[in-house]
Amino acid sequence: MSTILEVKGLGVAFGGVRAVDGVSFDVREGSITGLIGPNGAGKTTVFDIATGFTRPQHGEVRFRGRRIDGLPPHVIARRGIGRTFQVIRLMPRLDATNNLLVAQRDQVGERIAGALFGDWRRQEAENRRTAQGILERVDLTHRKDVAAGSLSYGQQKLIEIGRTLSLDVDLILLDEPMAGVNPAMRGQILDLIHRLNEEHGKTFIIIEHDIQMIMGHSDDVIVLDHGKEIAQGPPQDIQNDPRVIEAYLGVGHDEEGKP
């Protein structure tokens, strides 16, 4: 697999706190990569930098070989990176369909020429077909007319993932997609991730505190601790890495990796 995302020497501090400190890693195209670490390890800050919500003070981020760090979020989204957030950011009074519509590219009606010459009608019909297809993909067609604020928490998370699909991105960053959802919905979200990965070629980076889920569903795992990248590799290697065990359990190891 080729590399889709390269992070090199990334660093940013907020006041006296160095949230990300020299982080470097690569993400393979077509992979599912887990990004884990204790609370405060810098995981969400890495997402914020990669998607333009935070400007790094050091290092760089490259997507498909092109540098993107410092670009605004909407430009990065157009380049092909979408994300979800820890705190869901839907428009609660709009229904599920319209939450997908507002995220789509090429809103012809926003341009004067499109509004004057009626192109917006054709484009709106096409956008609605696209939104309907996404609702089917995330299994929410039966909730298409329900206000987003009235959906269950898990269904809202599905709509957030659906909005990344509305952007037609290649790389999707999910920030704790399993947090706060019931086991049945967790299974539905996992099934959607794998279908998008295997059938549609989407690449994923997933922040998640459910280590068992990450180890069981990721091709590669990146581990951060105190803003630093301490390990990267296949799940089976990460589970036995003494640095990872120490970061999570506070257990020291000797040179042979024994407690």
Q: What was the pLDDT predicted at 248?
A: 80
Residue with tokens 């019931």: 182
Q: Could you tell me which residue, 67 or 248, shows the higher pLDDT?
A: 67
pLDDT band at 253 (very low <50, low <70, confident <90, very high): very low
Q: How far apart are CA 45 and CA 49, in angstroms?
A: 6
Q: Which tokens sit at 129? A: 């077909």
At 19-39, the pLDDT tens digits run: 999 999 999 999 999 999 999
Q: Which of 144, 162, 157 is closest to 202 using CA atoms?
A: 162
Q: What was the pLDDT predicted at 89?
A: 87
Domain boundaries, the chain: 3-249
Q: How far apart are CA 115 and CA 55, in angstroms?
A: 36
Q: What percent of the chain shows pLDDT beyond 70?
A: 90
pLDDT band at 110 (very low <50, low <70, confident <90, very high): low
Q: Which fold has domain 3-249?
A: Rossmann fold (3.40.50)
What amino acid is encoded at 231 in this protein?
A: A
Q: How far apart are CA 100 and CA 148, in angstroms?
A: 11
At 122-180, the pLDDT tens digits run: 778 888 999 999 999 999 999 999 999 999 999 999 999 999 999 999 999 999 999 99
Average pLDDT, the chain: 90
Distances (CA, A) of 123 to 93, 131, 141, 162, 234: 23, 12, 21, 19, 44
Q: Do 99 and 91 touch, CB atoms closer than 8 A? A: yes
Residue 107 has pLDDT above 70, yes or no: no
Q: Could you tell me which residue, 259 or 28, shows the higher pLDDT?
A: 28
Q: Which tokens sit at 183? A: 């086991």
Q: How far apart are CA 221 and CA 207, in angstroms?
A: 10
Residue 55 has pLDDT above 50, yes or no: yes
Q: What was the pLDDT predicted at 122?
A: 77
Q: What was the pLDDT predicted at 118?
A: 57
Which of helix, strand or coil describes residue 82? strand
Residue 18, beta-bridge partner list: 13
pLDDT band at 1 (very low <50, low <70, confident <90, very high): confident
Residue with tokens 């509004």: 115
Q: What was the pLDDT predicted at 254?
A: 44
Q: Which tokens sit at 193? A: 């991730």
Q: Which tokens sit at 33? A: 């990569």
Q: How far apart are CA 177 and CA 214, in angstroms?
A: 11
Q: What was the pLDDT predicted at 127?
A: 87
Q: What percent of the chain shows pLDDT beyond 90?
A: 77
Q: Where are the beta strands (DSSP E) in the chain?
A: 3-14, 17-28, 32-36, 58-63, 66-67, 81-83, 171-175, 203-207, 220-225, 228-233
Residue 100 has pLDDT above 50, yes or no: yes
At 203-235, the pLDDT tens digits run: 999 999 999 999 999 999 999 999 999 999 999
Residue 259 has pLDDT above 50, yes or no: no
Q: Could you tell me which residue, 237 or 117, shows the higher pLDDT?
A: 237
